Homo-oligomer: A and B are copies of this chain.
């Protein structure tokens, strides 16, 4: 791997490795070893990072910016699955199964990533089994969240899914009741399996019921969190 070394350890693009939960428990020396294999990449706003069906052979770690991960359904419609912020990664599924992306990824704004070749990563998995355990923990969380999301789709109405999403925003933002939506309403609609129109209407209805107070494009104040969750 040493021959891939592009620059020394202090390169900015490598620093993100230390942000990633699956690596940051390692010894400094081991972390350096991983950093040697990292390749930088950058994408302009709106640029596609990989497409569904692309050969998938790398792990992408977000260094700066924001990435949208979409999934295409059988009939070609797309759903927003997740938004990646610095320290998050994608491409991990391909490590353990067929090597074609099922999803596609797009830069929301100008974005810098670090990529690690799949083969390099697999070497590290064998060399440092603790990484496997970290990835297992990550997968476990993701699976849990994904199944929860599926159950919500299967059993809850759109109104409830929106309310639950707002509650999650409160949690993510450390319990503050002044929240900021992490994405546009169009993206949110895709994520929640509805339309921007319906999101807009439900939020207005919540406001008329005195449950929330909208303030500007993506900001709002949650007035009655408990009542919101009873919907």
Contact = CB atoms under 8 A, between A and B. Distances in A.
Nearest to A142: B143
A96 B95 CA distance: 19
Contact of A147 (B81, B144, B156): B81
Contact of A150 (B74, B79, B133, B155): B79
Interface string A125-158: 1100100110111011111101111111111100
B74 A144 contact: no
Copy count, this protein chain = 2
* Interface of A (DSSP majority class): helix
Nearest to A77: B155
Contacts of A71: 147-148, 150-151
Contacts of A150: 71, 79, 81, 146, 149-150, 153
Contacts of A217: none
Contact of A156 (B73, B95, B133, B143): B73
Interface residues of A, number: 48
B96 A154 contact: no
Nearest to A70: B151
A153 B79 CA distance: 10
A190 B156 CA distance: 12
A95 B229 contact: no
A102 interface: yes
Interface in A203-231: 229
A57 B73 CA distance: 36
A80 B3 CA distance: 51
B229 A79 contact: no
B155 A78 contact: yes
Nearest to A192: B154
A144 B95 CA distance: 12
